[in-house]
Structure formats: C-alpha cells, structure tokens
Amino acid sequence: MLAAKFLAQAICAVVDKEMTRRCFSPCDTDPCENQSQDGSSFAAPCLGAKRHPVAVELTPDKPHEACGIVAVCGHPEAAKLTYLGLYALQHRGQESAGIATIHEGRMHVHKGSGLVADVFDEAALRRLPGSVAIGHVRYSTTGSSLETNAQPLVANYRGGALAVAHNGNITNAANIREELEQRGAIFQSSTDTEVLIHLVAQAATADFDEALFMALVRLRGAYSMLVLHPERLVAVKDPRGFRPLCFGKLGNAYVMASESCALDIMNAEYLRELAPGEMLTYRDGELLATRPFPPAEPAFCVFEYIYFSRPDSLAQSRSIYEYRERLGQQLAEEHPAEADVVIAVPDSSIPAAIGYARRSGIPYAMGLIRSHYVGRTFIEPDQAIRDFGARIKYNAVRSVLEDKRVVVVDDSIVRGTTSRKIVNMLRAAGAREIHMRISAPPWRNPCYFGIDTPRRERLIAATAGDVETIRQFIGCDTLGFLSLEGLLKVVPRTQQYCTACFTGDYPPGQAPTGEFTKQILE
C-alpha cells in the first residue's frame, strides 16, 4: 500500500471557480489536507496515491510582481496611450486589466480578467473618451483574482465620481475596513485599495484635495497610486516610496507609469521618478508637485533592481539592465567558480549571467532556452512526465552543456523546487558540474508591500537554515548567494532601500500587526 503510494506521483489540484489553486502534495484526502489555511499555497512536491487533473504553474517558484499603473493627462487619445502603457507593464500583472477616463465630467471604465490584449479591443477603447485616463494591470497581493477586484476601482460619492489604480499593499487595510464597516460602509471588493475610496467619501470635508490627504495619512504600507476625479488626476507615492512610479512628457501631455518602459512605448520623454511621499496633481493642463506628508525614512524595494522591473526600464535615470549586469559582476567576485561556461535561467537572469561571465572571464552561452508561448495547461500527472512544468518552460541545450562545468545564474530562490528541476535538467543534458549562483541574498521573509510571496515556512532559505542544506535540496555541486553588502554596493547609493525579505527588518510601523494573508479581506 505504502509502496503503491510512493510509486504513484500524485499531484492534487484544488480548483475553485475564480482561480486555479494548485497543490503538490500527498493526497489521500479531498480537499487536500496540505492546502495552507488561507487556501493560497501548498506543500512542496511529494508523493501520494491519488490522481487528479493538475494545473501546472508554468512560472513557478518566483515572487510574483505587484501591479502596474499608467496615467495619461491632457492627450486626445488618452485611453489608447494608456492601453499601450499597460501593454508594456504586462509583466507586472496578468490577472486583470482596466482603464478609466473622464469626459465632460463623466467617468467611463472598462476592465476585466485576463491580459491587456484580451480585455481590450478597438470597440472597448472607443468607448473610453476623454483626454485624461488611468490604467491598471493586476496581480493580486490582497484579495483573490476576482473580476470585482479588477482595477481601476470606480465609485460615486457626494463629491462625484472617483477611480483608483493602486500598486502596493496597504498593511492596515483590515483594521480600517473593520472600523468603516462598523460605521455602515458596504464594500464591493476584497481589495485593500477600496478602503481609500471609503475614507475619501467619509472625510469630514467637501474639499477633495483635503479629503484625499486625510485618507492617505491613515494608510500604512505601500502605495503608488493614481486617483482620477472629474476635475483632476492625482499621482502619489507613499512616504517610504516602496514601489516605483515615474513621470514624463508627451508633447503638452503628461504621462505617469510604474516603469519607464511604459513611457518608451508611447514615445514619451522620461523626466524622473517621483520622490517618496511626492504628490503630482494634474488640473486644467497644469502639473503641480507637492510633498504633503511628514518626512519618513525612504524604503524603495531593492528587488525592483534584482528582478521585478523590466531590464529596459530606468532607475535613477540609468538602465536596470546595467545594475543587473553589475550584480552579476559582484556575484563573480564573491563566489568565483572553476567552470567552462556561464549560463542564465532565462529571461530575467540574463544580464546578471552576462555580468558574471564578463568579470570571471568564463564564456557566456545560452544553455537554457525559455519558451515564450506557455501559459497554464492541464495534464494528468504521471511519473513519466515528472518535472513537466519546468520542462515545458525551459529546455536545455545539450551542445552547450555536455561534459562542461557549468555556472548557472538565477536571480532568486523561493521554494527551491524549480532550481532543483533545472539542476536535474542540466545534468540530464550532460553537464559535468553545476555551480549555481544567485544574484540576490537568500529570501527568508515574506513581503507585505505588494509582492506575493509564500508564507515564511514555504521559503527554503527560511526553513533550511544554511546554504549547504539548500544546496543539498537543489542538488547542485556548489551554491553561492550575493551578499546583502554586495547588493547594496551595486544599487544607487542616492536611495535608501527596503531589504526586509532578506533581513526581516521591516520599515518601522509598516508591517501588519497580526496575521496577514492575501485573502485577509474576504
């Protein structure tokens, strides 16, 4: 019985109506007993007897990006340009997309589940008139992947219509929501963003700017946010400046976006990143910059440099690509290896691998090829197709790897499961030695500021204790992580950073006080 159990590789999928949740677990119970309490994560792969259809996550074992936001102010084709901007930010969220515009005092909105190209067509964009628009692509970090949670969130209150697009996580949203519900507020979504709308609506002032400020000062955590109102558009960053938000010009129009790659696609000129706590207000063709919040110690997410932002985006007016290459060079200095070839886990680790190769003098080659056309698929699991999820996404190039000592550079290890599959794949393709190098310190703590990471007990660096235990789990010959000091040496010193996922030092007063899960508001 036990033998049979161990012979059958079982992968159990728990599927609900709104989203597919996956469990890779020994599954003799239904629903699976290994599902986490909040229902959002599952145990690492192991063996069981029961067989179910499985939803294979084809971008596994990476922290999921936050969201992407775009605004266009003062352009006759505001909705179309916003659409283009969202297209460029698709890597920041693939669950839903939406655009809201203002025309003759009326709010127009179109949003839905799926990719930007699935949600919008010509007809949908024609129904979004006006010269001011905000847009959003979402990966849920609070609230499930429901259509009601798609942004921009739109509401009518006594001051008129209001639309909000938010990137980040408001860590005291549950407390504020409870307080508002006790006062009679009825919430339409399970996102943290909606509390902002209720706070504005319930503010003891009819002045919108004042009401917005009074609402924003109640929030803790991370928000890069766009707020659209019939008379103005506001772009604002929280006082710590966790998440990115930049702005630029397109003729007489202004453009704001999570990353500069969204400005490039519109052919807009990049001006600069918003400072922590900065607020830009567009009204009657003018853009006004203010710093309304009391000063706080900045905490820009250092992981934007390592992984989240697109390499062609700018940070501090220099390309993210450049910094990633320098992270690879620093990694080579800290963890040299005797090897024949350097390869990357594509695509995000390619600049770091090139940097490693350049500093070490070991040639760079493409030893892993990534398929760009995979999404999710359903299969019947079977021993014969173990590691299918990794193999459908990556394939090893035997001619590059056979009989070689290989340095493989990746930018993060979260649960370790994908790294282990990649090592198996490289060995199967003939690699003689595998030296894994990670262009970030070990990820030991969950992020509460807009990145979806597993709970601490699912993070291999948190549970394994030391690098040697992680190496044994992954199965490589040597393993080296970039040091925190090395990371901070490379990224611009003109900023201060959040490094909490590595250090556990959350910016004071910003982490949630109690249990925090993605479904906390459901």
Among 38-46, 97-105, 386-394, 494-502, the segment contacting ligand SF4 (CB under 6 A): 494-502
Could you give the string, one character per residue 54-93, with x where binding to ligand SF4 holds by CB under 6 A and - elsewhere? ----------------------------------------
CB of 312 to ligand SF4, least distance (A): 20
250 - beta bridge partners? 253
Say whether 67 is catalytic. yes
Residue number with CB closer to ligand SF4 (100 or 170): 170
Please, how many CA atoms are within 13 Å of residue 79, restricted to the half-sphere of its CB? 23
Residue number with CB closer to ligand SF4 (113 or 258): 258
Among 499, 512, 516, 518, binds ligand SF4 (CB under 6 A): 499
Q: Does 343 bind ligand SF4 (CB under 6 A)?
A: no
CB of 503 to ligand SF4, least distance (A): 9
Q: Does 498 bind ligand SF4 (CB under 6 A)?
A: yes
Strands 20-23 and 12-15: antiparallel
Is the distance from CB of 80 to CB of 87 less than 8 angstroms? no
Q: How far apart are CA 392 and CA 375, in angstroms?
A: 10
Q: Does 511 bind ligand SF4 (CB under 6 A)?
A: no
Restricting to residues 166-185, name those near ligand SF4 by CB under 6 A: none
Residue number with CB closer to ligand SF4 (282 or 502): 502
Residue number with CB closer to ligand SF4 (34 or 510): 510
Q: Does 451 bind ligand SF4 (CB under 6 A)?
A: yes
Q: How far apart are CA 452 and CA 334, in angstroms?
A: 29
Q: Does 440 bind ligand SF4 (CB under 6 A)?
A: no
318 - beta bridge partners? 315
Strands 132-138 and 96-103: antiparallel
Q: How far apart are CA 240 and CA 253, in angstroms?
A: 28
Backbone angles phi and psi of 321, in degrees to 5: -55, -45
Residue number with CB closer to ligand SF4 (194 or 238): 238
Residue number with CB closer to ligand SF4 (253 or 459): 459
Residue number with CB closer to ligand SF4 (34 or 141): 141
DSSP 170: B
Restricting to residues 239-268, name those near ligand SF4 by CB under 6 A: 242
Tokens matching residue 466: 């030391």
Choosing from 12, 67, 73, 246, which is the catalytic residue? 67
Q: Does 418 bind ligand SF4 (CB under 6 A)?
A: no
The candidate with the shortest Cα–Cα distance to 155, out of 187, 182, 114, 116, is: 187
Q: Does 491 bind ligand SF4 (CB under 6 A)?
A: no
Q: How far apart are CA 230 and CA 163, in angstroms?
A: 10
Q: How far apart are CA 58 and CA 55, in angstroms?
A: 9
Residue 344, classed as helix, strand or coil, is strand
H or E stretch covering 42: none
How many residues sit in the footprint of ligand SF4 (CB under 6 A)? Answer: 11
Restricting to residues 286-315, name those near ligand SF4 by CB under 6 A: 301-303
Q: How far apart are CA 487 and CA 305, in angstroms?
A: 10
Residue number with CB closer to ligand SF4 (72 or 460): 460
Among 208, 449, 473, 516, binds ligand SF4 (CB under 6 A): 449
CB of 310 to ligand SF4, least distance (A): 16
CB of 169 to ligand SF4, least distance (A): 9
CB atoms within 10 A of CB 273: 21
Q: Does 401 bind ligand SF4 (CB under 6 A)?
A: no
Sign of CA dihedral 399, 403, 404, 409: positive
The candidate with the shortest Cα–Cα distance to 85, out of 137, 38, 10, is: 137
CB of 409 to ligand SF4, least distance (A): 20
For 53-79, the three-class secondary structure string (H helix, E strand, C coil) is CEEECCCCCCCECCEEEEEEECCCCHH
Entry field: residues in the chain: 522
CB of 144 to ligand SF4, least distance (A): 21
Q: Does 388 bind ligand SF4 (CB under 6 A)?
A: no
Q: Does 447 bind ligand SF4 (CB under 6 A)?
A: yes
Q: Does 413 bind ligand SF4 (CB under 6 A)?
A: no
Beta carbons within 8 Å of 485's beta carbon, 6+ residues apart: none
Q: Which residues bind ligand SF4 (CB under 6 A)?
A: 242, 301-303, 447, 449, 451, 498-501
Which residues does the annotation mark as catalytic? Answer: 67
